[in-house]
Amino acid sequence: MGTTPPETDLPELVSTLYARATAEMKRLIPLYLALAERTGNFSRVTEADVQDEDSRRLLLSGIASDLDPSRATAAQAVQEWERRQAVPFDTETSITTGVYLNLRRYAESLYDSLHVDTEGFTRFEAAVIVCKPYYLPLLQHLGGLFSKAQLKRQIGSVSDAMISAPAGQRLADYLAARVDPTRVEKREILGRLDSTLEGIVRDLVGRVLLESVVAHALEGEKLPFVREEDYESLAGVVYDFRADFVLPNAETPKVFIEVRKSSTRHASLYAKDKMFSAINWKGRHKDLLGVLVVDGPWTGSTLVVMAKVFDYVVPLGRAADLAKTIKTYLEGDRSKLKWLIEFRIAENR
């Protein structure tokens, strides 16, 4: 076996699925934010707003339209929006539709490249696997290694960013013994890969999309803030922990913001976690404004309960209005602070 993988005529593929999805989401978020700003948060849409395919996809996906943005004209997109104005605009779907489209196309390119590099899935060489670790998700599905536990048990610790030479050899041997090239169906393999793609996008929604929308709103009002990764912790009564956003800083905090997507199934669990965090921080800092930005199908009763602890519980789509409210609080409007929480722990003597 050589140390250099075989050459192909296909475009260079050097990105993991996760990196590809991250790049596409980061590309689309500013486009979405600009479109939302131009249209008054999608309350007034004109043909001038949706001249390009990206803008049409963002609009049509957000209102759950079946129109193909690559074929629909700007006039048709606006007409579709007019017909569906009662449909709540879904920010997540608006952006992730384009991410999924890009990711599935990339996955198909990976499959085609892997087909060439393995000579139709008849030769699995360790050199190829080691030099092109981003093939790993496809190799897992080819070999029936559908979970991380199975993969680690059979091959060892590997990732689509790096595979060692010994692990690459084990994986090559494993695939050579188990893959029947006559039974490999492209549609089936890519269909199985969909669950991996969904997991990637779901993770990015929480880590990238929602917080980017909030950050953009704060920046629009020129508000000083630090994000979770930019400071050590926010002091609390029981423990010190980090909120998604703190304004203006963690040393002299005036506002904390938590951003959370939920489902009806997990709403109660998430609510308990977030409410205790609010009590912990607001109990330590008496003038700390507590804000929760929500997305997804939270239950109404859960939101009502959280509104008894957080000063503001608002949907993601109102982030721009929220930023204006926070600005007035930081400028001295104490009426924005609804709850004062008395919470202390003292030793019994």
**Of 77-86, 139-148, 255-264, 275-284, which range is least confident?**
255-264
Neighbours of 339 (CB within 10 A): 15
Residue 106 confidence class, pLDDT cut points 50, 70, 90: very high
Residue 71 confidence class, pLDDT cut points 50, 70, 90: very high
Q: Report the alpha-carbon distance of residue 172 to residue 178 in Å, rounded.
A: 10
Note whether 105 and 15 are within 8 A (CB): no
Note whether 259 and 300 are within 8 A (CB): no
Share of residues in the chain with pLDDT > 70 (%): 95
Note whether 212 and 29 are within 8 A (CB): yes
Q: Answer yes or no: is pLDDT of 89 > 70.
A: yes
Which of these, 298, 300, 304, 328, lies nearest to 316 by C-alpha position?
Answer: 298
Q: Residue 232: its pLDDT value, please?
A: 94
Q: Answer yes or no: is pLDDT of 7 > 50.
A: no
Q: 14-28, pLDDT tens digit by residue?
A: 689 999 999 999 999
**Of 187-191, 193-197, 238-242, 298-302, which range is least confident?**
298-302
Q: Residue 14: its pLDDT value, please?
A: 65
Tell me the average pLDDT across 190-195: 93
Which of these, 178, 160, 163, lies nearest to 124 by C-alpha position?
Answer: 178
The residues, ordered by sequence, that sit 6+ positions from 147 with a Cβ below 8 Å of its Cβ are none
**Residues shown for the chain:** 349
Note whether 296 and 262 are within 8 A (CB): yes
For the chain, what is the mean pLDDT? 91
Task: Write down the architecture of domain 222-336 according to CATH.
Answer: 3-Layer(aba) Sandwich (3.40)
Q: Residue 11: its pLDDT value, please?
A: 44
Note whether 291 and 322 are within 8 A (CB): yes
Q: Report the alpha-carbon distance of residue 330 to residue 332 in Å, rounded.
A: 5
Structural domain spans, the chain: 17-41+89-181, 222-336
For residue 226, report the phi and psi dihedrals to the nearest 5 degrees.
-125, 145
Residue 318 confidence class, pLDDT cut points 50, 70, 90: confident
Residue 297 confidence class, pLDDT cut points 50, 70, 90: confident
Beta strands in the chain (DSSP E): 226-227, 245-247, 255-261, 289-295, 312-315
Which of these, 186, 169, 77, lies nearest to 124 by C-alpha position?
Answer: 169
Q: Residue 3: its pLDDT value, please?
A: 42
Q: Residue 296: its pLDDT value, please?
A: 78
